[in-house]
Amino acid sequence: MKTFSVRLPTSVHKELKRLSEHEGISLNSLIATAVAEKLSALETQTILEERAKRGLEKSF
């Protein structure tokens, strides 16, 4: 596991802290999960765009 420092606006940090407490998880876990979810969404979009390029419109 790597350490990564990031600067956040105070308002974002405050909301992340509030949400992590509400969810009963650490701030670190919340941020790590959020980043992983974003990466997954971006990778999925890329995969779908590549598949769409190979598709044939007349097949639909």
Residue 54 has pLDDT above 90, yes or no: no
Decide if 20 contacts 27 (C-beta within 8 A).
yes
* Cα(60)–Cα(52) distance, integer angstroms: 12
Give 30-41 pLDDT, tens digit per residue: 999 999 999 999
CA distance to 11, 19, 53, per residue, from 24 (Å): 20, 8, 43
Among 4-8, 14-18, 50-54, name the one with the lowest average pLDDT. Answer: 50-54
- The whole-chain average pLDDT of the chain stands at 92
Domain ranges of the chain: 11-54
Torsion of CA 33, 36, 41, 46, to 10 degrees: 180
